[in-house]
Structure 1
Amino acid sequence: MRGSAKVRRSGREILALFLLIASGVYGLGFWSLVTFDPDSAWTRYELLDESGRTARAAWHGSKAIALRLEDGLDGPETQNMQLIVAGAHDRAGDPDEAIRLYRAVLEGPMGEEMRPADEMAIVYRIADLHLTQGRVVEAASLAVRIVEAAGAGHVAHSRVPDAETALYTDYLDRLSTDLRGLLPPNDRRPPIAGETPDLLVAAENMTTLGAYYAARGTPPETAAGLLSTAYDLRASLLGIDHQDTIHSALLLGPVYERMGQVDKAVPLYLDAFHAQERTYGANHPVLSLYIRLLVSAYEEQGRMTEAEALNLHMRNIFSDAFGARRYAANQDRDRTADINRPVSEAFPLPASYKPDDLVAAGAEAIPLSKLPHLDEMKIRMASIDETTSMPASLSALLSQCEQPGEALSLRSGYRSYDTQAQLYRRAGPKGRVTPPGTSEHQLGLAADIDVNGRFMRASDRAYRCFEENAFRYGFILTYPQGNDYLGADDGFEPWHWRFVGPRTALLYREIGPLGKPQEFLAALPCYEERAMSGLFLSVEGRDVCLDTLASETTAQDDKAKGRGETG
């Protein structure tokens, strides 16, 4: 009996040993298959993914892809696998491997043939993953790609379909919250390390992205965080006198003002003013931009004595540069020819209005973004005198402000009432296009400017040149930040410049109400009279001409209501 039991026990042990060896051989064979055979590894990925074991599935998926690449299989099938497995790593909480695979897709043949909307979806996902790891520099560079894909974000004129523009805007809005958390607009921002060339590229990207968010209007904290980081990088690497640093200051200051932090804007304006003073001299007209910004900020702070001193300095600069009687010759003809005519919902044009001095802009040495025979490639001659006209002035301004890597061209000039009506119908209630009869393009005096084939942005170096110098050529920015002419949150149009003639533009720069160009044109006779009488300053911080305009408008409204002329 004992011998029989021993035999049975020995048999079971032998069987167990056999099964163990067989299991080991099978396991070794299975491991070899999923480790060295790409098809087996991919099958394992699919089974694990279907069962919800995403992290293990993602590992096998990456192994299958690596094996295929080792075998030289880098075609569309492998690219599609990379996209699928990147999503698995994304869901499994492995951002670095997800980023690596997403990038492989974008940089491969699939990325080259991908629809822009699909490409930007991946770019957004990579940017978002970088932000989860606190990598702001990498995220900002990717977000700029989305900004570029969306054009300038002006839906009615964009070459990107409306649905895609809305999608890209949504991506950027989603990134905004994390960017705001990682780059607060105060001294708690983490330092950014790296080599100088890389840091300057980072500053450029943050400037572009910050300017985008600033133009959107909300939330200002995101724009402030990006722009202040860019400013700090440029100031430390290039110095406060460098034009790029000054550009960052001009973008950041107004954002601080919108946040109610004028005390942070003033030092930026002062540094920019003194930097340009060192560059151009104490009496150069370029300084007028910085004086206007400082005066407005000082008035908001109640520092009227300092504001008055700067206004006096402005008058001295302009008197030296343009003559003591610089406004005496202004004006009747300009008004008769509608060169100084305001255009907005409060000051509409009739449907029949069409200027009689339109000329082809291309024939006047102005670079074009569209075919030369189109109506939009026409502008007014608008001759002020024998030597000054809109085409000559625009051509000279474009020549002065074209920067390295920034080619300037005319995107849109004259638009008829009917063309404006079509654009307005397309835009619908979005509020980014003025109703027909309320567009300066119908006057033939507006010029939308392209930079490298897309709308000029506030982050473009050419824009700062326009801000500093356009008034000397007779142009003003008539849809500035914070305007309500378009009835939209993003009514700021840094590409839209209106010709009003050099004398009127000069007057607007010197004493016009900052950010209220249409009101200025409506009250132009009052401003001219005060200028020629030497009454440049407002009374106790109040603008007499604007007050008079408001009173006249109220009286007209009351009179209309008395006649029963209601909405």
Structure 2
Amino acid sequence: MALRSPTYLAGVFLFLAISFLLYFNLAVRLDAGAALFRFNQLTEVGADARAAGHGERALTLLRREGESDESLSPLMLRVANAQMARKNHARVAGLLRDALATNASRTLTKRERADYEDKLARASILSGDIESAVAIYASFLELAGDDAARGGGEDPNAMSAFYAERVGQAGALFTGALNHARPYEPARGAREAHLAAAGDMASLGVFYSMREDGAYAAAGLLSSAYAIRQRLLGGDHPDTVQLTLVLGPVYAQMGRLDDAEKLYLDAFHAQEQLKGANSPDLSLYIKLLTRIYEKQGRITEAQALQEHMRNLFRDAFGAQRYAVNRERDRREDINRPVSKQFVLEAAYAPGDLVSAAEYSVPTAKSPNIDEMKLRLAGDQGLDPREANLPARLAQLISLCRSEAGERISLRSGYRSYGTQKVLYANIGDKGTVTPPGMSEHQTGLAADINVDGRFMRPSDRSYQCFEENAYRFGFILSYPPDNDYLPAGDSYEPWHWRYVGVSTAQLYREAGPHQKPQEFLAALPCYQERAANGIFPAIGEKDICLSGKPDVKVAASDADAAQPQDEDARAARILNKLPAAATPR
């Protein structure tokens, strides 16, 4: 037989190769098994981007052969992973949503399912479907429970810690997807769906607002929630006003002082309509607005608002409202500061502990344990059944439960030095337990508050109620945002309320330094002495009591009565948004 030429052999080989490739390509396109085989080959070598098309083809062909989504669910999850490599975010979201909706997905472990839900939420953000993402991450927050609070939880491997971690990691995606200066509006859904999205955005926004790097994510989510509620519920609705207390500080932190001012003005007017123009409860919003004017350098207007608040307090609580019980409260440690600068000795223990449940305080744990006890701290000369710490806490909880419609309970009251030492040894700075000697719980005057079974959050309606009304019952927020009272990196605790007595809490609201409760308590004798003599800190001037050189040698008088008669008119013009030129100077 004659030998074939090399050219001939090369031609035959080329023909066979082309035929095989055509056959293989046709088989992959028309045969589900071949498409699936090729998909598996490519994913095994890490070529997910190339595998994605074969996986999609396998799904299509298998459906034509009668396969259901139930049987295809595992493959859909794998194809979604492959599509992620191609950054086809909308398709990833669609595949994951369909797969997780099947009964077959119930065979996934809890962590596997949560991981796929996290991927679905991330793909939703990247494809512009913010509503779906916030719904998932808001549910993660609820599942995280107390691990959503600062510092995480005791067990980093717990599912609750996993949920909190994934929400935290999504902050960068929300920052990129949302324009904090232009609120996001849902593109679909009815009114109730939009309100639900606003609620989820509010919860997530509050979470990010408490994180050091979360301001932009918080601003985008909270401003969007505020815009939705304002449009659908109105600016005077309690749920709209509630967001002022978390969005306003975020704006202030970002330097958006004009936006913060507008928020606080709108909130003031809403509460004025609800509670009346002469209610001292307006003081919260007046004080917030005063702080913004002070930052803007509008000292005259800030001082006018301060005087307006002072007149509200004079009318509500009397001209001599700070002239009683100063020595007793100091002697009995009711006003004692506690922090890393003011440490309690190990032997310190209050002598008047009582069961909180006996005074109708709802408790989150067995009422018989020490942690469910509080100091009586009763006022001398007043009705002992009502003028004491646990009775006033019960009244405050009852008021806020009625206003908010949420379950409120005492989570933690008294903790001894020894108990605190054990807790801190077990948890350390991973959780929400302070070092021994630095905890106000050792005084028996502190109350950690639960809402619906977990730590109170600023997104809770109850938090707004506490912020507005706690001072009336003698309580202040001990660890406000950006404090440095405790060793942890972030010691903001919106659930921790400290009893200091009614007159001291009123003085802190009226004349105390902004969000500096421990400094205020440390310098309390100075503030009390000056207030009893009618002298209060002036906006823009050095706070004498914080300078360490108090000047209190003044004659007792009713300084409120001596204020210029145009101060109320000036404040009224500010709060009613009249031009600055109309304000008397």
Q: Same fold (TM over 0.5)?
A: yes
Instruction: Determine what percentage of the aligned residue pairs are the same residue.
Output: 46
Counterparts of 2:41 and 2:540, CA distance in 1: 78
Q: Does residue 59 of the first structure (1) align with residue 53 of the second (2)?
A: no
Aligned to 1:131: 125
1:281-296 correspondence to structure 2 within 5 Å: 281-296=276-291
SS in 1 for 2:449: strand
Change (3 A) 1:257 1:30: closer
Aligned to 1:279: 274
Change (3 A) 1:64 1:333: farther
Change (3 A) 1:84 1:25: closer
Counterparts of 1:48 and 1:113, CA distance in 2: 26
Q: Deviations over 1:129-163 (max 9, x none)?
A: 01211222222222212222322433678576566
The one of 240, 252, 255 equivalent to 1:257 is 252
Task: Tell me how large the CA RMSD over aligned residues is.
Answer: 3.1
Q: Deviations over 1:374-432 (max 9, x none)?
A: 32222112212423111111111111112555211111111111221223223435585
2:137 maps to a residue whose letter is A
The one of 257, 261, 270 equivalent to 2:265 is 270
Aligned to 2:477: 477
1:329 shift after superposition: 1.6
1:520 shift after superposition: 0.7
Counterparts of 2:219 and 2:201, CA distance in 1: 10
Counterparts of 2:59 and 2:86, CA distance in 1: 13
Contact 2:134/2:200 (8 A) holds in 1: yes
Counterparts of 2:168 and 2:524, CA distance in 1: 40
The one of 301, 324, 337 equivalent to 1:342 is 337
1:390 maps to a residue whose letter is L
Q: Structure 1 residues 354-363 or 88-97, which shifts more?
A: 88-97
Contact 1:156/1:426 (8 A) holds in 2: no
The one of 186, 194, 214 equivalent to 2:209 is 214
Change (3 A) 1:118 1:27: closer
Change (3 A) 1:72 1:261: closer
Counterparts of 1:191 and 1:72, CA distance in 2: 36
Counterparts of 1:509 and 1:210, CA distance in 2: 26
**TM-score, L = length of structure 2:** 0.81
Q: Structure 1: any 5+ residue segments left out of the alignment?
A: 1-15, 552-567
1:353 shift after superposition: 1.4
1:459 shift after superposition: 0.8
Contact 1:127/1:140 (8 A) holds in 2: yes
Q: Does residue 396 of the first structure (1) align with residue 391 of the second (2)?
A: no
Aligned to 2:504: 504
Q: What is the aligned length?
A: 524
Counterparts of 1:377 and 1:64, CA distance in 2: 64
Aligned to 2:355: 360
Q: Structure 2: any 5+ residue segments left out of the alignment?
A: 1-14, 552-585
1:519-538 correspondence to structure 2 within 5 Å: 519-538=519-538
Change (3 A) 1:250 1:332: same
1:401 maps to a residue whose letter is C
2:523 maps to a residue whose letter is A
Q: Does residue 148 of the first structure (1) align with residue 142 of the second (2)?
A: yes
Counterparts of 1:157 and 1:390, CA distance in 2: 31
Counterparts of 1:418 and 1:64, CA distance in 2: 68
Contact 1:415/1:444 (8 A) holds in 2: yes
Change (3 A) 1:229 1:190: closer
1:307 shift after superposition: 1.5
Counterparts of 1:112 and 1:476, CA distance in 2: 47
Counterparts of 1:264 and 1:208, CA distance in 2: 21
Change (3 A) 1:405 1:106: farther
Q: Structure 1 residues 87-96 or 330-339, which shifts more?
A: 87-96
Contact 1:508/1:520 (8 A) holds in 2: yes
Change (3 A) 1:521 1:24: closer
Change (3 A) 1:279 1:517: same
Change (3 A) 1:503 1:28: same
Q: Deviations over 1:338-397 (max 9, x none)?
A: 111111111111111121222222232222222233322221122124231111111111
Q: Does residue 487 of the first structure (1) align with residue 487 of the second (2)?
A: yes
Aligned to 2:408: 408
Higher relative contact order, structure no. (Cα contacts within 8 Å, ≥ 6 residues apart): 2
Q: Structure 1 residues 437-446 or 145-154, which shifts more?
A: 145-154
1:462 maps to a residue whose letter is S
